[in-house]
Amino acid sequence: MLPLKTLSRVWGWVNNIDLPVWARRPILSLYVRSFGCDLSEAVEEDLKQYRNLGEFFRRAIKTAVRPIDFGNCVVSPADGKVMHYGRVEKDHLEQVKGVTYSLQTFLGPNTWQTYNQIEKVSDDVYHKSLLHNPNNCLYHCIVYLAPGDYHRFHSPVNWEVQFRRHFSGELLSVRPSIARRIAGLFSLNERAVYVGKWHHGFFSLAAVGATNVGSIKVSFDKDLATNVKGWKKGTHHEHRFIRDSSGIHVKKGEFFGEFNLGSTVVLVFEAPSDFSFKLRTEQKIQVGQSLNHCMSESNDLPNCTIH
């Protein structure tokens, strides 16, 4: 296998080499044309103001071009393409149609509710352990960011982040064509999983690394360091954000983090049994756009059956 982690570190180093002022516009214009970037959305439209490729990849966009839907819904955390979405069936999620990965392997042991290390449990037990309300269901949504997309990601709901688990892993490509061929791709790759709660119960957001995406930054997590040399393969590092019985509160639409190049954001969350996505597979979506039809505020709903 190619040394993708090393290549990604080299690519990150190249991205941060400052370009001479005279070279910025021709080099960055080539990237803009190649990947169809919309410069009119950027806060800074003058390419000469970006000192290097990395700064351009992580460019901010104007608030007005990404209005946030503040209804009773979950919104897209990123600009990108919907790879898959739906209800979680037992302990398995689909990364693309017909290709699955394990929820328990992806998130890791449920230790955010206890300080004891829990051994691997049955799929059914793990699934139920995540639910705050046994009448609710688990849902997931995967958004793939291509190289030309806006590279920052935002909070999809108002929620409290309590825990982070950072998995050391591979940096395989997460392009949909690769996801169709490698089962468990997202569980193999390096990822930072943030776990907490929202008003319907369990909520998690995972930023998944990929080839040439050796750097994932999260606004409130200064201890996160991705694609670090010397980490033992298959290990993970944990951090608890709870202080005085409360975690970090983030608001819907608030800046959450950024990738150095395109990658993937995976949402796994609890919601009532009447939660209904309004998406299509491979649909293009933008930050702040609603993922679902507005939810009922009623608690008098049928139980969620785990198939």
Task: Write out the E strands in 103-247.
Answer: 137-144, 152-154, 159-167, 191-198, 201-208, 216-218, 236-240
Of 168, 187, 215, 263, the active-site residue reads 263
Length of the chain, please?
A: 307
Clarify whether 204 is annotated catalytic.
no
Largest CA distance in the chain: 64
Q: Which stretches of the chain are DSSP H helices?
A: 4-15, 21-35, 53-57, 103-107, 123-130, 176-179, 185-188
Could you give the CA distance from residue 31 to residue 245 in angstroms, rounded to a whole number?
46
Q: Is 24 helix (H, G, I), strand (E, B) or coil?
A: helix
Q: Specify whether 79 is catalytic.
A: yes
Give the DSSP letter string of 103-132.
Answer: HHHHH----SS-SSPPPP--HHHHHHHH-S
Identify the active-site residue in 127, 140, 151, 154: 154
Question: Two tokens at 49?
Answer: 């103001």
Residue 214's CB is within 10 A of a number of other CB atoms, namely 26
Buried-exposed string 51-73: b where 16+ CB fall within 10 A, e elsewhere: ebbbbbbbbebeeeebebbeeeb
State yes or no: is 263 an active-site residue.
Answer: yes
Sign of the four-CA dihedral 80, 57, 261, 267: negative
Candidates 8, 79, 127, 155; catalytic one:
79
**Residue pair 168/227 in contact by the 8 Å Cβ criterion:** no
Q: Which residues are catalytic?
A: 79, 154, 263
